[in-house]
Amino acid sequence: MVDRIGKDVIGMESIGDSRPLYYCAPMVRYSKLAFRNLVRRHGVDVAFSPMIYARNFLESEHARVSEFATHPDDKQTIVQFAANEPEVFAAAAELVYPYSVGVDLNCGCPKSDVRQKGFGSSLLNKPELLADIVRQTRARISDPDYKVSLKIRVHYPLDQTIDLCRKAEAAGVSHLTVHGRTPSMRCEPVDYDAIRTIVDAVNVPVIANGDIRSLEDANTVSSHTGCTGVMAANGLLANPSFFNGDETTSAQCVRDWVRRDHYFGYFIQSRRPSINLPSTFSLHAQRFVNSSTKKIIQRIIV
């Protein structure tokens, strides 16, 4: 078997018995290597890569280099692909198998450009195709510990969503991430009751997604839905350490971000770097960095 960089897999039940698993969502531009490692140091159990177009990843070396970077410290990473062809998704999964604990198919992105290409939430009307994608990927990668998952949005009538989930389960899906909004919804309340119904309808782990911005939110949603895990996106961008219970971004989290950036070579390019803090931090964190950056940099790189 291939010696896999990201092979230390957290069992879906090991932590979930005492608390839900904490997930960092796939986020374009944000959930890359440095940010994944940061949030894992501050409470996240499993982190997703940004969505990658599977065919481009297969056909372009430039796409492979620019879209997915990893490192031996990059543990518990799931790579998310956009695809609508079973053989393409399965082949892309084979490429990242040595460097990840799983692959995920984006079936929930509501953006019009993604939908027009036949990806994202346009796949919610094609449960047989989704099942075939899972099935063919399972056939290509025999490792039973390797995760093959779907990230979906709810689709009304809810029976259609349940049918999709059951077909995916029968095909061998490892877990399902369910965003409790439909593709046409934006800021409307999340339908956590729908997620609870899906949890009760299938026998695979379900991760709840939508408006989780604090540890209190995570625990409340977990209790309400009975889910195995909870996934956050914007909440982690505003406060990367909230799964640790921090109400605002901790000073240690900011220090770790600067160190991680330097270590992975993302934003600090010389011994006299110019730090441009990404918009992924709260105002609290920005104030901290603005007042202390010079001292932190000196401690790290001098």
Name the nearest CA neighbour of 74 among 20, 25, 38, 23.
38
What is the helix (H) or strand (E) element at residue 254, kind and residue range?
Answer: helix 251-264
Could you say which of 24, 109, 227, 253 is catalytic? 109
Measure the CA–CA gap between 277 and 286, rounded to whole angstroms. Answer: 7
Percent of the chain that is helix, strand, coil (3-state, to 5): 45, 15, 40
Q: How far apart are CA 173 and CA 163, in angstroms?
A: 14
| Burial classification of residue 158, based on how many CB atoms lie within 10 Å of its CB (0-12 exposed, 13-18 middle, 19 or more buried) | middle
Contact 218, 241 (CB under 8 A): no
CB proximity list for 104: less than 8 A, separation 6 or greater = 26, 48, 78, 79, 80, 81, 147, 148, 149, 150, 151, 177
Torsion on CA atoms 268, 269, 274, 280, rounded to nearest 10:
-30
65 within 8 A of 52, measured Cβ to Cβ? no
Per the annotation, the verdict on 109 as an active-site residue is yes
What are the catalytic residues? 109
